[in-house]
A and B are shown apart, each in its own frame.
Chain A
Amino acid sequence: DARVTQTPRHKVTEMGQEVTMRCQPILGHNTVFWYRQTMMQGLELLAYFRNRAPLDDSGMPKDRFSAEMPDATLATLKIQPSEPRDSAVYFCASGLARTYSPHGYTFGSGTRLTVV
């Protein structure tokens, strides 16, 4: 089965440190999403890309978060500097968006981030 691969699975870091999370989308998918999941807020959309171009990053705190797709096989989400309130599970999802016919997306297993 094709899958979205996220690394690392778990990350514990100290406040102020840089954190980089990586995602390998499913080959052939043209849309990549970054979500953050917490108990209180549920799944929040941080950013998404279509054909590697950023379409929307309005859900992301711009001063500390950045998302990029250096190539079609890699998406990255960076937090610098990290804060305890960033502790959450970060999911990457990919899909093939067709005009007038969106379908569900495939999620990775997530990166569980703890900032102490």
Chain B
Amino acid sequence: QKEVEQDPGPLSVPEGAIVSLNCTYSNSAFQYFMWYRQYSRKGPELLMYTYSSGNKEDGRFTAQVDKSSKYISLFIRDSQPSDSATYLCAMTSTSGTYKYIFGTGTRLKVLA
């Protein structure tokens, strides 16, 4: 079993829909959680990061962490065709090594 699990999709939604992307993990030492967006043939780019449990909002994006369930989510409101990409979750502990463990990514397609 992988340390981080992510549904590969693809996930197709109509423009304007609310999108929910999720990851589960098994290592309770993880404290820092990130979401990256990767467009086709590009490198991942950091969207959001959160520490420990709770919510964080940035524009149309909300990141949510539930450490008791070992479950993190990224919500995208009013989704746009430009949001079509692969979304990767990543996480690390506070051990000082800063080694990120990535999920395999969920492909999202927002249809105009």
Contact = CB atoms under 8 A, between A and B. Distances in A.
Contacts of B92: 102
A46 to B, nearest CB: 11
A110 B105 CA distance: 17
Interface residues of B, number: 24
A41 B101 CA distance: 12
Q: How large is the interface on A (under 10, 10 to 19, 20 to 34, 35 or more residues)?
A: 20 to 34
Interface in B35-56: 36, 41-46, 49
A43 B44 contact: yes
18 contacts: A31-B98, A42-B88, A42-B105, A43-B88, A43-B104, A43-B105, A45-B100, A45-B101, A48-B99, A95-B98, A104-B46, A104-B49, A104-B90, A105-B46, A106-B46, A110-B42, A110-B43, A112-B41
Contacts of A4: 43
Q: Which of B32, B45, B100 has the most CB of A within 10 A?
A: B100
B112 to A, nearest CB: 26
Nearest to B92: A102
Given A33-B100, A56-B99, 18 more contacts: A42-B88, A42-B104, A43-B88, A45-B101, A56-B97, A99-B96, A102-B32, A102-B92, A105-B46, A107-B43, A107-B44, A107-B45, A108-B43, A109-B41, A109-B43, A110-B41, A110-B43, A112-B41
A100 B92 CA distance: 12
A42 B42 contact: no
Contact of A102 (B45, B88, B98): B98
Interface in A81-97: 91, 93, 95, 97
Interface of A: 4, 31, 33, 35, 41-43, 45, 48, 55-56, 91, 93, 95, 97, 99-100, 102-110, 112
Interface of B: 32, 34, 36, 41-46, 49, 88, 90, 92, 94, 96-105
Nearest to B105: A42
Contact of B36 (A99, A102, A104, A112): A104
